[in-house]
Amino acid sequence: MLRTAEQIVLQHRAPWSHHGDTWGLPGGARDSLESAIDAAVREAAEEAGIDGADVLVTGVHVVDHGGWAYATVLAEPVAPVEPASTSAESIEVRWHRIADVADLPLHPGFAASWPVLAPMWPARVVIVDVANVVGSRPDGWWSDRIGATRRLYDDVSRWASAGLPADRLPGAGPASCLPRVGFVIEGAARDAPLRTDPRIEVVRAAGSGDDAIVDAVRRTPKAVVVTADRQLRDRVCALGAIVYGPRWLLDELGR
């Protein structure tokens, strides 16, 4: 399910297909060795002309029917996406306004899932108070702040890309989540060289790291802030963020 705040990509199914002439999501059966994400990216390319490099997967919602299951992969565009019908299974594939979806003749399965899927955007964002988390991790950070910052970044990158069940990330909704991350660094570690990960936005605070985190929360409708700083916790909670201590993130990284 590829969507933005205002639009979603839907497929107008060919009349001969199961529940033909209805609107739903591009998709199909998984190959034996494919994950749900790999299958969804492949099907989006085959049926809708969507390049997997242009989207960021943010979650997977599974409906288990006992003996078989249906997985909906959630994603956001990270580059301009112009979907098109690229197989005989579609009459048309295009962006639709979110507000108009309920008025379309929908595939019954998608119609049943839409009330659950619709609130799952935007993806949950985890904003990391890097200095605070690094300071709670006894790995020699006091003598090498840049190295400790790079190690934390690499660990967070692996964790965010692997995904986690919804019950391990507050407010993620009834889907496993591949969170986006705000990685806020300041002071001596601000210029740490970090590799590029499209899932992580690195914020190099010119001044106060706390102020940069508060600004990030203001821009983020769904934010989990990782910090043990009480003053910062009070500031971001007032803006509607959820706060977890560094131990939560370190436990996640160790799973």
Let me know whether 134 and 17 are in one domain. Answer: no
The reply to whether 2 falls in a domain is no
Same domain, 134 and 191: yes
Single out the residue in 120, 145, 160 at which a domain terminates. Answer: 120
**pLDDT tens string 118-159:** 988 888 899 999 999 999 988 878 889 999 999 999 999 999
| pLDDT at residue 166 is higher than 90 | no
pLDDT tens, residue by residue, 194-234: 999 999 999 999 999 999 999 999 999 789 999 999 999 99
Dist. CA 129–CA 235, nearest whole Å? 13
- Per the domain annotation, does 210 fall within a domain? yes
Count the domains in the chain. 2
Residue 109 placed within a domain: yes
Give the 3-state secondary structure of the chain: CEECCCEEEEEEECCCCCCCCCEECCCCCCCCCCCHHHHHHHHHHHHHCCCHHHEEEEEEEEEECCCCEEEEEEEEECCCCCCCCCCCCEEEEEEEEHHHHHHCCECHHHHHHHHHHHHHCCCCEEEEEHHHHHCCCCCCCCCCHHHHHHHHHHHHHHHHHHCECHHHCCCCCCCEECCEEEEEECHHHCCCCCCCCCCEEEEECCCCHHHHHHHHHHCCCCEEEECCCHHHHHHHHCCCCEEECHHHHHHHHCC
Return the CATH number at 107: 3.90.79.10
Q: What is the pLDDT, as a whole number, of residue 139?
A: 83
pLDDT at 172 over 70: no
102 with 192, same domain: the answer is no
Among 88, 104, 120, the domain-final residue is: 120
**Within-domain flag for 1:** no
Out of 120, 143, 169, a domain closes at 120
User: What does the alpha-carbon distance between residue 130 and residue 136 come to, in Å, rounded to a whole number?
Assistant: 10
> Which residues sit opposite 57 in a β-bridge?
75
Whether 184 and 82 map to the same domain: the answer is no
Same domain, 110 and 139: no
Instruction: Note the pLDDT of residue 18.
Output: 87
Mean pLDDT confidence for 20-49 = 92
Task: Give domain status of residue 67, yes or no.
Answer: yes
- 213 versus 62: which is more confidently predicted? 213
Q: In this structure, are 111 and 134 located in the same domain? A: no
What average pLDDT is seen over the chain? Answer: 92
pLDDT at position 54: 96
Please give the residue range of the domain that contains residue 19. Answer: 7-120
pLDDT cut 90: percent of the chain above it:
71
Same domain, 92 and 134: no
pLDDT of residue 250: 95
| Domain-located, residue 57 | yes
Q: Model confidence over 63-87: pLDDT tens digits?
A: 888 878 889 999 999 999 999 999 8
Indicate if 246 and 129 belong to the same structural domain: yes
Verify that 114 and 129 share a domain, yes or no.
Answer: no
What CATH number is given to the structural domain containing 227?
Answer: 3.40.50
Let me know whether 81 and 14 are in one domain. yes
Do 132 and 242 lie in one domain? The reply is yes
Question: Are 96 and 187 within one domain?
Answer: no
pTM: 0.86
Does residue 227 fall inside a structural domain?
A: yes
Tell me the C-alpha distance between 130 and 121, whole Å.
26
Kindly state whether residue 151 falls inside one of the protein's structural domains: yes
